[in-house]
Structures are given as C-alpha cells and as structure tokens.
Amino acid sequence: MLVALQREIGENELLQIDIDSEEVCTLERSSVDLKAQTSTAFHVNSELSELAIAANVEGLDTWLRVDSGYREFMLLDRVTSESLGLTDAEFLGDNSLLEASDFFIEYVSIELGALKLRSVETNIPHLEVPYDHYAGRGEMLTTSNPESEFLTVGTIGEALLEDFIITLDTVNKRMYMTEAE
C-alpha cells in the first residue's frame, strides 16, 4: 500500500502514517517541522512492491524492508545474522523448546538515523529453515532492471512501527519518525 501511495504524493506534500491507529493522510510540506524529527533514507522498489529504510543493525549499515503486515518487531535473514554473530545463541544451552518453531529470538541494537533502539526482539531462522522473504519473487529478480537487484536483509514489522508516526518525504527520499502518543 505504501509503495502505491508514495507515487500519488505531490512535490509539496508529505505522506503521514500512523500504523497503530491505521491512519494515512497527506500534509502540506510547510505545515510540518521536520527538523525536530529523526530521519533516515528510504528506497522504494516498485518492482518488488517494497519500501526499504536505511538502518544500522549491531554496527552493520544495511537496508530493512518495512512491512506493516509482519506482526513481530523485526526479522533478519540467516546470512546476515551469522555474519553478525547473532546465531551463537542457537547453540547455547538447552534449545529443546525451540524445536517447534522455525525462528529463534535474539535481541539487537538498531539505529534508524539518530534514533537508537536497544534490545529489539528479532526473529532469526533456524539453521535448517530455508527462509527467504523474496521466495516466490524469482522472476522479478532476474530482470535487467537495476532496481530489482536492490534487496533487503530483513524486515521491520508492526510491533516496532506502531510506536511511531511516520512521515515520508518522497521528493527527498527521507522517512521521519516521531513517537506516537
């Protein structure tokens, strides 16, 4: 929905989203003081219908897709999690309670611009779980369009997004966040 909406926004308008209240509206650029808000870059991949934001996860600068349909806080792919050393918890202690689940939980630090979030609950697929959030989109990834090669390494979900009011400045490719009331 966000990918489609951002195409309709004029140069002097901003798109504001309150996920928790399920409200979306447009604002005149001059009616909002964006200087007081935390911001990060965003990228829209229309071929994958994906909105991605620049983030820093445990010291790694990367891009995470925004998915209000994902009910959890955050999800990281296996390769990224291994490179950050986050999968070590999988091999510590008794993990017998994890056998029924495809993911285990790790807590990470994430930075979205100047916003620093500590101990964000993050799902990571188990070693044997073939998880790929681009599954079923194979034909899109084989085109010659350079935009189709812009791939994210994880997902920020509703549980994290509902704490913020998001304002998209599509002209400058910036996403601004303020705490929801």
* 50-57 and 60-66 beta bridge pairing: antiparallel
Q: How far is CA 132 from CA 8, 59, 94, 96, 180, in A?
A: 30, 23, 26, 24, 31
Q: Quick one: 2-179 is in which CATH superfamily? A: Acid Proteases (2.40.70.10)
Q: What angle do CA 144, 146, 152 make, to 5 degrees?
A: 120
In this predicted model, what pLDDT tens digit does every residue of 64-73 receive, in sequence order? 999 888 899 9
pTM greater than 0.75 (yes/no): yes
Q: What is the pLDDT of residue 102?
A: 82
Q: What is the Cα–Cα distance from 52 to 62, expressed in whole angstroms?
A: 10
In this predicted model, what pLDDT tens digit does every residue of 100-113 receive, in sequence order? 578 888 999 999 99
Can you list the alpha helix ranges (DSSP code H) found in 84-164?
138-141, 158-161
For the chain, the domains span 2-179
What contacts 128, CB < 8 A, 6 or more positions away?
none
Looking at residues 57-69, what average pLDDT do you find? Answer: 91
